Structure 1
Amino acid sequence: MYEPIRTKSVHSTMAGTPDDFPHRSREEELDIQLAGHLAALLAVTDELRVSAPSADLDAAAERLGEQVARLRGGRTPARAPAATTGREPDPAALHGRAHALAGRALVVAASRADTAAAILAAERMDAHTAALRPRTLAPH
């Protein structure tokens, strides 16, 4: 009912020996992951800067850009101005997304033992947690 396989597998003949194609080290893979998380966090930070400008967000964006450039061998991250979609962005949703991205960056930075990136990610997590915390009214 089934026809037997007559040819060799392409997987064994295409690659040949394991040294025939480039491999990245674990450190290189972690650098790529960390740069990606920080670049995504930078994009959300830029969106927040448009909706609610602040010196803290400006400083954070600058530091995030520096870290991404360091991890990418000096290449600065691409940054596009936030486009207006006709609706106002939800700051709480942006802070929530930024908090999650900072958490992912923190995990990778800790795995990579990158102190500077871990500190920055932890600071951003704290800042976004504070932004999500409900404001309490002072007693009259």
Structure 2
Amino acid sequence: MYEPIRAKSVHSTMAGSPDDFPRRSREEELDIQLAGHLGALLAATDELRVAAPSADLDTAAERLAEEITRLRGGRTPARASATTKGRAPNAAALHRRAHALAGRALVVAASRADTAAAILSAERMDAHTAALKPRPLTSH
């Protein structure tokens, strides 16, 4: 009923032997993915540092850079510049984006069982949640 395949697979002949493909372990793949999420969170944090400077954001940026460096085997992450051009960034939108990025990092850190990255991600989620809460009006 079915006709047998007469020619070799294009995929196997183009690559040569199966050993020609670089292979990474699950842990290596998760390290790469986690470093990417933390790198995106660092970029959002650097943008927030311009929009709403604070010591908390400075500390968070340094801790994120340290984690990324650890995950990348000593390679330091690229950092956003300290100046903005054009329109001023929307701090609330940046906090929402940073919260989402920290959540993604937390999921990967948990699946990788990386306690340090998971704690840092959860702390950043909490900080961005707090920054988004409306502040009560104070009366004088």
Flag whether TM exceeds 0.5 (same fold). Answer: yes
- Letter paired with 2:93: A
The alpha-carbon deviation at position 22 of structure 1 amounts to 1.6
Compute the RMSD of aligned alpha carbons.
1.7
> What residue is the counterpart of 2:67 in the other structure?
67
> What residue is the counterpart of 1:108 in the other structure?
108
> What residue is the counterpart of 1:124 in the other structure?
124
The runs of 5 or more residues in structure 2 that have no matched partner are none
The alpha-carbon deviation at position 11 of structure 1 amounts to 0.7
> What residue is the counterpart of 2:99 in the other structure?
99
The alpha-carbon deviation at position 76 of structure 1 amounts to 0.5
2:128 alignment partner, SS class? helix
Decide whether aligned partners of structure 1 residues 80 and 139 sit closer, same or farther in structure 2, where only a CA change above 3 A counts: closer
CA distance in 2, matches of 1:120, 1:53: 19
The alpha-carbon deviation at position 120 of structure 1 amounts to 0.1
CA distance in 1, matches of 2:37, 2:111: 14
> What residue is the counterpart of 1:134 in the other structure?
134
In percent, how many aligned pairs have the same letter? 83
- Letter paired with 1:53: P
1:86 alignment partner, SS class? coil
Count matched residues: 136
State TM-score, norm by structure 1. Answer: 0.90
CA distance in 1, matches of 2:72, 2:44: 19
The alpha-carbon deviation at position 31 of structure 1 amounts to 0.2
The runs of 5 or more residues in structure 1 that have no matched partner are none
| Pair 1:49-2:49 in alignment | yes
CA distance in 1, matches of 2:48, 2:27: 31
